[in-house]
Amino acid sequence: MYFAALLARTEDGWEASDTELDDVETLSDLMDLARDASVDEDTVLIYIEQEDAWFGVVRVDGEEDPRIYVSDASAAARSSYGEILLTDEVLGRPPGAGDEIAALEELVDLDSTEDGEPNRSVAAADQDDDASDQDAVPAGPIGELGVLADLGMSEKELLTLQTDALAEIAEAVGATEVLEAVR
């Protein structure tokens, strides 16, 4: 079960809404959603959680690139919404590395013998090892730890969040009341 909320800062404080992610397939779609909620290109926070597995915070400030934090990258990688947040940049890969990995995996799958068993040459095995090393997603937190630092939540506090992280984030940024209205 997923829950997503959007917190948009305005000159009058924060506005909150629960967010439907059914039409969100890419990080770009998520940014469009955030920018549509923004007033005068102010800060927008998008919070996504999968019950007791992981949560992610995406911060959008106007037209700047999004800033992303994910509490457990390996758990998020097994989730369709988590995969949206785990970009090459967040994972520390060169841009397009995920596309190269998929292409390598496809090539390895095409190399099979008549009985259906793969013909595992040393080169193919090395490609598999290289692809899995590049494709490995680390366990634990990943992304920008200081994503909420100027809003009242330190890196240390962000790292120690466990259950009900959204409530603690909302309290730190001063959005508890508006968040409770949409929960």
HEC string of 40-101? CCCEEEEEEEECCCEEEEEEEECCCCCEEEECCHHHHHCCHHHHHHCCHHHHCCCCCHHHHH
Overall pTM > 0.85: no
User: Would you say 29 and 35 are in contact if contact means Cβ atoms under 8 Å apart?
Assistant: no
pLDDT at 100: 55
What is d(CA 124, CA 116) in angstroms, rounded to the nearest whole number?
Answer: 16
Other C-beta atoms lying within 10 Å of the C-beta of residue 180: 11
Report how far apart, in Å, the C-alpha atoms of 92 and of each of 22, 56, 89 are: 28, 17, 5
What is d(CA 157, CA 168) in angstroms, rounded to the nearest whole number?
Answer: 9
pLDDT at 101: 53
CA 111 to chain centre: 34
User: Would you say 16 and 44 are in contact if contact means Cβ atoms under 8 Å apart?
Assistant: no
Question: What is the C-alpha R_g of the chain?
Answer: 19
Strand partners, 143: 69
What does each of the 183 residues of the chain score in pLDDT, given as a tens digit? 888 999 999 888 999 887 888 889 999 999 999 988 887 888 999 999 998 899 999 999 988 999 999 999 999 999 999 999 999 889 888 877 555 555 555 555 544 444 445 444 444 444 444 444 546 788 899 999 999 999 999 999 999 997 789 999 999 999 999 888 877
Tokens of 57: 């915070």
Running DSSP on this structure, what letter comes out for residue 151? G
pLDDT at 24: 92
pLDDT at 179: 85
Tokens of 97: 């590395």
